[in-house]
Structure 1
Amino acid sequence: MEFQNKYKILLAVLIGSLMGPLDGSAVNVAMPTFSEFFKAGMTTVSWVSMAYLLVLSGLLLTYGKLGDVIGYKKLFLSGMLLFTVASALCGISPFIGFLIASRALQAAGAGMMMAVAPAIITTTFPRNEMGRALGFNAVAVAAGLSIGPSVGGFLLYAFGWRAIFFINIPIGVAGYFWAKKVLPEGQVLKKATFDVLGALLGFIFLMTMLFYISKGQELGWNSVSARLLVAVSIAAFILFIINEKRSMAPMLDLKLFSNRTFASGNLSCLLNFTAQYIMVFLTPFYLEKAGFSPGQVGAIMTAFPLTVLFVAPLTGMLSDKLDSLLLSSAGALICSAALFLMGKLGYDSSIFDVVWRLMLFGLGNGLFQTPNNSSVMGSAPKNMQGVASGVLATMRNVGMVVGVAVGSGFFTLRNSYYLAVLPYTGGMLIDEAFIRALKDAYFLAAFIDILCMLASLVRGKKDESFKEKMEVH
């Protein structure tokens, strides 16, 4: 494929990869405004984000397979169109329930683009350029996360909350027509059938599991509602496995996980994002407790994704030349070291103390992500690139949810413990318990990234014979 055509295709994918993270991080800034405008409590308003996250995470795997069946271009275009229309609906929302439903629809569109973006890249670029192209995709995601809060804050202040959604319309329309023009039709699986039952069971399993993880503390871990969620989740998972083993055209061919590179790469992705979101969730609370203003907190937190933005394309190029195993393992180790050093922060730490640690974490994360993604996608057969992409995206999102839940739950437990065992010193006791619990949570995240490194190290060399066996002729 000609150089210009490859990079025209990459540009189309990057527009889609930018839109979701940009919108998601921008919307988070407006949460208090939603509460005030719609006269709704924060529990209700939290569903503006929760509905998006649950629907997105629940559909990624399904969309990955659907892309293999109907074609990546068709699914990507459908996703961009749906995301754009849903953004318009979000912007005209007359009440909070309408906004939540529109956000769920937005997630359904974002999921289509997210699930097949890596698959489009890996089927467009040759193996020796794949890492660099995936690195640029990581840059688009990091850029969206970095500038989203600033863009959201500006639009909120200058034009009101509706502008946060309306800004997606011109970007989405331009992106749709560009993608329609440059994306290749690609190959689809001949005579392929879509495993509807498998898709439904997988969706139910992921939705109930993630809802339990994210809302279990609020519901009560042992409450009737929580137990029902666990029961439904386990039942759906068992039925999903049985169905996939029996199906002639399974949504997720479980033989993929017999490939050590694919299995360990996805596991390390899950662990890395779990550790990452423990840090991402807890650090703003620490910064506010340490006396930084909300504006300073937002600026400080961008140090992490901004570093990823600069590091990812470089590590992408390196992964095309060096062993992905060593690069991703080194990245996980650096992440672990950064999290351990985060645990050494105190109330008297300066902005510089926090920023360089976040930048070190960004360096490790950028070094881990692109080589790991390239390794996972490169280990899957050509006819299963969509499924591989969907599994990887699902692991990433599950890691995010688990990270927030583990970070919140573990911090709460340790905080309660220190409040009980430390000598009473009035307000100083609360501050001391907080910082000690925070340190423990950072150390836990550092340990999880050590597990990520070990999972990355066991992936072994790329098995081309496995790919050949899995190819559909």
Structure 2
Amino acid sequence: MSAQTNKWQALGVVGVGIFIMAMNASMMNIAVPFIGAYFHSSMALVEWVLMSFLLVISTLLLTFGRLGDMFGFRKMYILGAVIFTVGTVLCGLASSIYLLIAFRVVQGIGAGMTMAVGPALITAVFPPTERGKALGLLGIFTAGALGFGPTLGGLLLKYADWRFLFYCSVPLGFIIILWAHLVLEPTPRREQSFDLPGAVTVFFALGSLLLALSHGEEWGWTSGPILGLMCTAAVAFALFMWRELTCTAPMMELRFFKNRLFSAATTSALLNFMVQYMVVFLLPFYFKDVLMLDAARAGLLLSSFPLVILVVGPLSGTLSDRIGSRGLSSFGMAVSAVSLLLLSRLTPQSHWTEIVWPLVLLGFGNGIFQSPNSSALMGSVPRTHLGIAAGILSTARNTGMVMGVALAGVVFNHRLPAATAALAVTGVDQGQLAGLSFTTALHDTLLVGAAVAVAGMITSLVRGPRIAPVGSPVSQPGTGQPAN
């Protein structure tokens, strides 16, 4: 097989693997109420079907990225696919909610392995002149999974059983394992020591932080458990930083953050996913509680956002290979800010067109931003550290998701009682009070989201031209000029 053919095969196997795992995760979002009813479980318990998966992935991405650098991306990807497939079978066979949560942890370990090294595999096999295009095409699989997953999950729940949400992924898992074994080229093993103390401290740091952000609104931000988790996160992060600065073979090279492009692109990715998930978290409540839409219509409206990313992402990635990434990613964040300003104007009487077009604009902005930003970040580190760079990028995304939901919850729940009280004084009809109060709080929350998007635009603009990674000179191919 020629190198030209093999790189596209590699893109296919990585993309399909990510599609399967992202689709399985997106189907779970609508399956949780049905699973809770089946096992007669409380909402507090059944939410761990989602939380266990997310926390395991988020806390282990850096570790898996580092292991990929050491033992090879191919081995990590195939091992991750095997563990994910085994975990998926076990989830389908789970006889209790506790076993299901435990098996979701197994699933999360496998998914974390593949997600951590996926972008690194693509960066390793594609030349810099095609990296943006390849990462843009990779984004198609994620956007497609987020767009079609809820619809497929709804159909399976309607005509079959929640266990089939897991069973349908098993044959595809075996296909990915075989395909990856045949297509992916082995990467050299590097004789490096593994920083176990660093891995342990960052695990507790991220785990404590994400758990606190996820449950802060529910448990109370000043409650003992949340304050304890925050303190644990702060201490663990301090120990992690000390360890990485003093270790001869650190898990994460903190010197990468001296590269303004790398640190700014990481920050921009985090802010971008915060913006996305502020919208993804709040709009379903608006559809259900204000517009009184059924699940099918609400899902169809929300799918317009990832479907636009599916189209725009590859085009933006290809364009960034030619003209650079800074202008595109900054423009994408600006468009996202405008889309949130438009969404903030929604009312209880808004027509569906007033919802779709801002969501299309949000998808366009995110599609323009993501591929160029990812390409810039991955291209700013030496090839020997692509795994940890991919892990940092994925960690920024996952942390941004959780922070976006947490920020939206804090602002919305703070503004809703105030809006209700203010409107009640004006003599608003009781039948309209709930809807008007909701959209007032939604307006204020999305304005905060727009400000976050503006901050992401600024971090993207100020990152400057690419600085060559240590030991690896980087220039714009064919020009001899620094890339941006």
Matched, 1:11 2:15: no
Q: What are the superposed Cα offsets for residues 111-165 of structure 1, whole Å, 9 maximum, x if unpaired?
A: 0000010000000000001111101110000011111011111222222111100
Q: What are the superposed Cα offsets for residues 292-313 of structure 1, whole Å, 9 maximum, x if unpaired?
A: 2221100100000000001111
Give the distance between the partners of 2:137 and 2:26, measured in 1 at CA. Answer: 19
Indicate the residue corresponding to 1:238 in structure 2. Answer: 238
Give the distance between the partners of 1:358 and 1:428, measured in 2 at CA. Answer: 25
Q: In the alignment, residue 71 of structure 1 is paired with which amino acid?
A: G
Indicate the residue corresponding to 2:338 in structure 1. Answer: 337
Q: In the alignment, residue 438 of structure 1 is paired with which amino acid?
A: L
Give the distance between the partners of 2:396 and 2:469, measured in 1 at CA. Answer: 25
Query: Does the residue aligned with 1:302 lie in a helix, a strand or coil?
Result: helix
Give the distance between the partners of 1:269 and 1:417, measured in 2 at CA. Answer: 32
Matched, 1:438 2:447: no
Q: What are the superposed Cα offsets for residues 198-231 of structure 1, whole Å, 9 maximum, x if unpaired?
A: 0000000000000000101222211111121111
- After TM superposition, list the pairs within 5 Å mapping 1:163-312 onto structure 2: 163-189=164-190, 191-288=191-288, 289-312=290-313
Indicate the residue corresponding to 1:147 in structure 2. Answer: 148
8 Å Cα contact 1:380/1:467 also seen in 2 = no
Relative to structure 1, the CA distance from residue 188 to residue 469 in structure 2 (aligned partners, 3 Å threshold; closer, same or farther) is farther
8 Å Cα contact 1:149/1:298 also seen in 2 = yes
Q: In the alignment, residue 197 of structure 2 is paired with which amino acid?
A: L
Structure 1 unmatched runs, 5+:
none
Give the distance between the partners of 2:188 and 2:367, measured in 1 at CA. Answer: 31
Q: What are the superposed Cα offsets for residues 226-255 of structure 1, whole Å, 9 maximum, x if unpaired?
A: 121111111101000000001110000100
Give the distance between the partners of 2:296 and 2:276, measured in 1 at CA. Answer: 22
Matched, 1:371 2:375: no
Give the distance between the partners of 2:25 and 2:76, measured in 1 at CA. Answer: 21
Give the distance between the partners of 2:217 and 2:162, measured in 1 at CA. Answer: 30
Give the distance between the partners of 1:468 and 1:378, measured in 2 at CA. Answer: 10
Deviation at 1:467, TM superposition (A): 4.9
- After TM superposition, list the pairs within 5 Å mapping 1:85-104 onto structure 2: 85-104=86-105
Matched, 1:454 2:473: no
Indicate the residue corresponding to 2:49 in structure 1. Answer: 48
Indicate the residue corresponding to 1:131 in structure 2. Answer: 132
What is the CA RMSD across the aligned residues, in angstroms? 1.3
Matched, 1:322 2:307: no
Q: In the alignment, residue 246 of structure 2 is paired with which amino acid?
A: R
Deviation at 1:469, TM superposition (A): 8.0
Q: In the alignment, residue 467 of structure 2 is paired with which amino acid?
A: D
Query: Does the residue aligned with 1:320 lie in a helix, a strand or coil?
Result: helix
- Tell me which moved more, 192-201 or 419-428: 419-428
Query: Does the residue aligned with 2:359 lie in a helix, a strand or coil?
Result: helix
Q: In the alignment, residue 285 of structure 1 is paired with which amino acid?
A: F
Give the distance between the partners of 1:187 and 1:322, measured in 2 at CA. Answer: 33
Deviation at 1:6, TM superposition (A): 1.0
Give the distance between the partners of 1:370 and 1:282, measured in 2 at CA. Answer: 25
Give the distance between the partners of 1:407 and 1:418, measured in 2 at CA. Answer: 16
Deviation at 1:188, TM superposition (A): 2.9
TM-score by length of 2: 0.95
Indicate the residue corresponding to 1:394 in structure 2. Answer: 395
Query: Does the residue aligned with 1:31 lie in a helix, a strand or coil?
Result: helix
- Runs of 4+ with >6 A deviation: none
Indicate the residue corresponding to 2:477 in structure 1. Answer: none
Deviation at 1:5, TM superposition (A): 1.1
Percent of matched pairs sharing the same residue: 39
Give the distance between the partners of 1:120 and 1:236, measured in 2 at CA. Answer: 30
Query: Does the residue aligned with 1:379 lie in a helix, a strand or coil?
Result: coil
Report how many aligned residue pairs link the two structures.
Answer: 469
Give the distance between the partners of 1:465 and 1:410, measured in 2 at CA. Answer: 40
Matched, 1:428 2:432: yes
8 Å Cα contact 1:329/1:456 also seen in 2 = yes
8 Å Cα contact 1:259/1:466 also seen in 2 = no
Give the distance between the partners of 1:346 and 1:430, measured in 2 at CA. Answer: 12
TM-score by length of 1: 0.97
Structure 2 unmatched runs, 5+:
475-484
1:468 to 453, 466, 472: 472
Indicate the residue corresponding to 2:417 in structure 1. Answer: 416
8 Å Cα contact 1:379/1:467 also seen in 2 = no
